[in-house]
Amino acid sequence: MITAPTTDRLVRLNQHTSQSRLYDSGIAHGRDNTPLKYHPLIVPDMETKPRYHSIDTNLDLHTMNLARTSKTFHVVILGGAFAGIRAAQDLENLMLPHMVTITVIERRDRYFYNLGGLRSMAKRELIDIVWLPYDNIFRYSHNRVMQGEVAAVYPNSVILKDGRKLDFDSLLVATGSIYPGPCKIDEVSYKLGMAEQHRYFDMVKLADSILIIGGGPTGVGLAAEIAT
């Protein structure tokens, strides 16, 4: 059971904030001013990127002050899906390398692309590409994705189920939502998750008729995929 901290260091991500850019052109270079290359995991080329007010105010100003004392600001992010990875990459772009260390804690061994996962019910070839390894999502090697599940949260640290403890200066909670498959796959192992997706595909392929309850974007989109 997760115990909520009683401190203003806990920052919850607001996915409904306004859109604007967070990138600074100077952050894309190393300390020797050499351009760095990295491969964002899920960040497409968009005209706008989400702006997290909590990062701008709570982390940016605080980190700038801490940087004057040569202290590295440690941010722990719970959850390595859409919100967690985007926040981690935006934060890394916002800060200079020596200012912040980012640790993303994710229970899965790979990133699961939910939207593509639903489409894989009708297109088996998508199963192999919706589980993405957490490689090269950061520019700097001191930032990392750690596999694990959180057992407890305290004002300055988190405890994982295997007993590991991580201290933090700021905690971002991006644990997302849970609902039944096939929309989301609950498996921790990507191999078991892929096996479950193959079962869903076989069920659709062998079915004489399929009832989809719900005519929103998800239901209509799934119906179109199956029909074509």
**Domain membership flag for residue 5:** no
Residue 153 lies in a domain: yes
In 3D space, the residue among 204, 177, 158 whose CA is nearest the CA of residue 82 turns out to be 177
pLDDT, mean of residues 78-93: 92
**In this predicted structure, what is the pLDDT of residue 144?**
94
Q: What is the pLDDT of residue 61?
A: 55
80 in Cβ contact with 116 (< 8 Å): no
Write out the residue range of the structural domain in which residue 87 sits.
10-227
Strands 170-173 and 131-132: unpaired
Residue 84 lies in a domain: yes
Asked whether the predicted pLDDT for residue 142 surpasses 70, the reply is yes
Residue-wise pLDDT for 19-50, tens only, equals 333 333 233 333 444 443 433 443 333 344 44
Q: Is residue 2 part of a domain?
A: no
> Which amino acid does the sequence have at 48?
T
Residue tagged 């179109």 (tokens): 224
Q: Return the CATH number at 127.
A: 3.50.50.60
Please tell me the total count of domains within the chain.
1
With 0-12 / 13-18 / 19 or more C-beta atoms within 10 angstroms meaning exposed / middle / buried, residue 18 is: exposed
- Mean pLDDT over the full length of the chain: 76
In this prediction, residue 98 carries a pLDDT of: 83
- Cα–Cα dist 97/30, whole Å: 8
Number of residues that this document lists for the chain: 228
The four Cα atoms 226, 81, 87, 1 give a dihedral, to 10 degrees, of 140
pLDDT band at 11; cut points 50, 70, 90 = very low
Question: Per the domain annotation, does 125 fall within a domain?
Answer: yes
Closest among 141, 54, 66 to 102, alpha carbons compared: 141
The SS3 call for residue 108 is coil
| Cα–Cα distance, 40 to 48 (Å, whole number) | 15
Residue 220 maps to a domain: yes
Is there a domain that residue 118 lies in? yes
Distance CA 40, CA 89 (A): 8
- How far is it, in rounded angstroms, from Cα 31 to Cα 222? 47
How does residue 64 score in pLDDT terms, banded at 50, 70 and 90?
A: low
pTM of the predicted model, to two decimals?
Answer: 0.68
Question: Is position 213 within any domain?
Answer: yes
Top pLDDT among 169 and 60 is at: 169
Contacts by 29-32, CB closer than 8 A, 24 or more apart: 30/97, 31/97
pLDDT digits (tens, 9 = 90+) for 86-130: 999 999 998 888 889 999 999 999 999 888 888 899 899 999 899
User: Amino acid identity, residue 138?
Assistant: F
**pLDDT value of position 36:** 39
- The answer to whether residues 11 and 42 touch, using CB atoms and an 8 Å cutoff, is no
